[in-house]
Structure formats: structure tokens, C-alpha cells
A and B are shown apart, each in its own frame.
Chain A
């Protein structure tokens, strides 16, 4: 491995806040929002929070360079993250760098996908990750800082410059930060990470290259059956990337909807099975030209419908949000996977 043309430490003129922001934007480092200056001291504090994590990182697409702990930490500092968030940020990045996530494809695509980051386990509460009301929205430093740090890493180390290497036609607000926690405390089901084989006491970051959440509004249904009608028909849409039928999707059930499903005896497996059978796109909703392109790549109709994933195992159910009759559908990019990675907590002496 050899150094790239850049150097890790930059000696720059003394800058006040305003001049720093201008400088950082000129360098192409910003997502458009102000950045915290990554001084050597602040970066060192961030790196110290990952003490004992000596596992290397793969090269980050599309630029194909290998990050250092300091360059990753610099992005976390710039994002406004606290040092305590850093191990969670690194776990999220490791998931994104898993080959099955297909970072290169998800960066070069014209699709609006962004890294969805979901956190499970005790770190949610320790870090103050919002899992309840407005969990996809603004207002929580942990959600914003972790999600934004990952985005800045992909921009600055990965080289995903919008309009150049990031070819998204319209982009998405989710590209600023898309991070939330599962509301394990109010969920009637086992936590997402436990269902994936992790221990309840593990803290786990799950990532998927996905669209911003699509709302599922159902105030009237009083049964699981009624809710499923709304869920299935909201999810079976011809304009999401799930139309290609080759990747996963996530359904984030709100707590009141989850309570209704649970009361009627519907667990996660039942939800997945019913969505697999019912969340299919009627062929009459798909143009002939589009259908021809899908068939040409091997995605053929099942009866009068087009399936939107490969089977129930592609359907991922979690629970988040606060009071209200809303849930969310998060379609994936398509050629991606849902990857869960355990957070490595700093070793003693850090």
C-alpha cells in the first residue's frame, strides 16, 4: 500500500469560523451544511474512542482508496459527532463496505438511494439515539451525527461527489443523514438484531442502500387484516426500485400498528409471508415498455402480478416511531443487501 497524492495532515492558514466554512466548501468537503473543523486534537479524541479496533477497512468506492482511522475520524468530527458515536459509525461503515451491500453500484446509480442506518441494542440509549417520535427526522444529535458522518466519509474518502461520481438523478434528503434506532422497548417482537442471531446485549448497526422512507398511513383499520391491505398496496408500487424484484426491502412498523398486528397474533414471519404474497404489482400498473425490459432481464410476471423481491427472506421488519397510526416502507436500491454489524466497543484503557 502506498500513500495517495494527498497528505494526512494539512497545514493551513489560521481561519475564523466563517473563513473555515468557505475553505471547507472550496475543498469539496461539505454536504452544504457547516462543518466542525477537524483539528488534530479533536480527531485524536475521536480516534481514542475506537481504541482497540485494529481491523482494517477495504478501499471505499468509487475512489478506491483505503481510509485511515484518522481520516474517518476527521469526517466524524466535521459531522458534529461525539467521540462516543465513533464505534457505531465504524460498524455502519463496515456494513457498507461488505461486498453484498454493493457500495460501488449504489454510488454510481442514478437512483436516489442513501445508506439507511438502523441501530439496535443498548448503545441506542447510551448514545441518545432516537427510536420513537420523529425517529427519521430532525432533532437528535446522535441520529444526525452518525448518519451524517457516514455520508461525509462516502463523500470525502469514497469520492462520491454529487453530480460527478454520485450520479443520482434527483438525490434525496436521506443523503444528508438517514439514521434511526429500533424502538425495542415498545416492540411486541424480538429486536431486529436478535432475530439476525446477535445477542440482546450486543449493539448492532444494520445498513441497507435504500430510498427515503415512504409513509404508510392507516388510521381506520382496526385489524391486522385491514392493516395488511393498506401495507401491501402501499408497498406494491411500480415506481420504486423494488420493481426489479432483485433485492430486499424494509418495513418499519409504527408502534400502534405493531400492537394491532400483535393483538391479532401476527408475528414477524406472518407479516413477511403475507407481504410476499400480497405486495405484488398488478401488471395493469406497469407500462408495456417497462414490462418488456423487466422480462428481458429475467424478471417475469407471476400470474397477473410482478413480485417485488425474491421471497419472504428479502422482507425485513423492524419497529420504530412514536404514537400515531403511521408506518414506513423503505425500498432498497435493488442490487444490495441488508447487512448487520456488531459495534466494537473501545477496549479498557482507552
Chain B
């Protein structure tokens, strides 16, 4: 017997593999990107404190989107991508 697949869908055009360049893990600027959930900032700042033992931290900054339930605004993502080479993101709860 033949049925219609209720899960069928098409992959949108333009969904291409993202690429990433080489980074200098000891010197490149890092953005700590919080999701506004409780303890996200504390977790990321805690990692930054420990990174002080192995790399420079004067170019590691924290930012956060202002709503846990919505994506970060595109301009925020674009500005961040221009300024930093590495992003450490906190997701989920």
C-alpha cells in the first residue's frame, strides 16, 4: 500500500556548510556570549577566570542577548563577528 510521508520536507536552498578560519587560541579576542538564562554569565565568567592561567584575558568580553526566549538580533551577531575571532556560547538551561 502507498501512503504520503507526513515527515516529508525539502531542504531550503542556500543552506550551505559554514566555514571557519584559523584562530590563535592564546591571543585572539574572545566573546563570551550569554543566553540570559540564570547562571549563564557566572559560568562564562568562571571560565574566563580560569583562562587567565593559560592565555591573555584583557580581550575577553561578556555580552548577552536580552531575552532568553528569542534569538540574538542579527546586528548584534554581525557586530560580534567583526570584533571577535572566537565565541564561547552558553546554550540551554
Q: Do these two chains interact?
A: yes
Q: Shortest Cβ distance from B64 into chain A, in angstroms? A: 8
Structural contact, A3 and B5, CB atoms closer than 8 A = no
Q: Shortest Cβ distance from B10 into chain A, in angstroms? A: 4
Structural contact, A10 and B5, CB atoms closer than 8 A = yes
Secondary structure type dominating chain B contacts: loop
Q: Give the distance in Å from the alpha carbon of A9 to the alpha carbon of B2 in the complex.
A: 7
With A6-B7, A13-B1 known to touch, is A66 a contact of B12 (CB < 8 Å)? yes
Chain A contacts with B in 51-72, Cβ cutoff 8 A: 59-60, 63-68, 70-71
Chain A contacts with B in 101-154, Cβ cutoff 8 A: 102, 104-106, 109-111, 152
Tell me which residues across on chain B come within 8 A of A109, comparing CB atoms. Answer: 69
Tell me which residues across on chain A come within 8 A of B2, comparing CB atoms. Answer: 9-12, 39-40
The residue in A60, A157, A289 that gathers the most chain B C-beta atoms within 10 A of its C-beta is: A157
Residues of A in contact with B, size category: 35 or more
Chain A contacts with B in 207-265, Cβ cutoff 8 A: 241, 244, 246-247
- Chain B: residues with Cβ within 8 Å of the partner, total of 26
Structural contact, A7 and B3, CB atoms closer than 8 A = no
Structural contact, A12 and B3, CB atoms closer than 8 A = yes
- Is B54 in contact with chain A by the CB < 8 A criterion? no
Return the chain B residue nearest A35 by Cβ: B6
Structural contact, A29 and B12, CB atoms closer than 8 A = no
Tell me which residues across on chain A come within 8 A of B70, comparing CB atoms. Answer: 102, 105, 335
Structural contact, B3 and A37, CB atoms closer than 8 A = yes
With A8-B4, A39-B2, A74-B3 known to touch, is A297 a contact of B9 (CB < 8 Å)? no
- Is B68 in contact with chain A by the CB < 8 A criterion? yes
Chain A contacts with B in 144-195, Cβ cutoff 8 A: 152, 156-157, 159, 167
Structural contact, A157 and B69, CB atoms closer than 8 A = no
Q: Give the distance in Å from the alpha carbon of A298 to the alpha carbon of B38 in the complex.
A: 14
Tell me which residues across on chain A come within 8 A of B3, comparing CB atoms. Answer: 9-10, 12, 37-40, 74
Per a CB cutoff under 8 Å, which of A71, A102, A289 touches B8? A71
Secondary structure type dominating chain A contacts: loop
Q: Give the distance in Å from the alpha carbon of A182 to the alpha carbon of B93 in the complex.
A: 37
Q: Shortest Cβ distance from A39 into chain B, in angstroms? A: 6
Structural contact, A4 and B8, CB atoms closer than 8 A = yes
Per a CB cutoff under 8 Å, which of A3, A60, A63, A75 touches B6? A75
Q: Give the distance in Å from the alpha carbon of A6 to the alpha carbon of B41 in the complex.
A: 41
User: Closest 3 CB pairs between A and B?
Assistant: A65-B9, A335-B69, A335-B70
Report which B residues bind A (CB closer than 8 A): 1-13, 15, 36, 38, 41, 64, 66-71, 92-93
For the A-B complex with A7-B5, A66-B11 known, give 11 more contacts whose Cβ atoms are closer than 8 Å: A14-B1, A64-B15, A66-B9, A66-B12, A68-B8, A77-B4, A78-B6, A105-B69, A105-B71, A246-B67, A296-B36
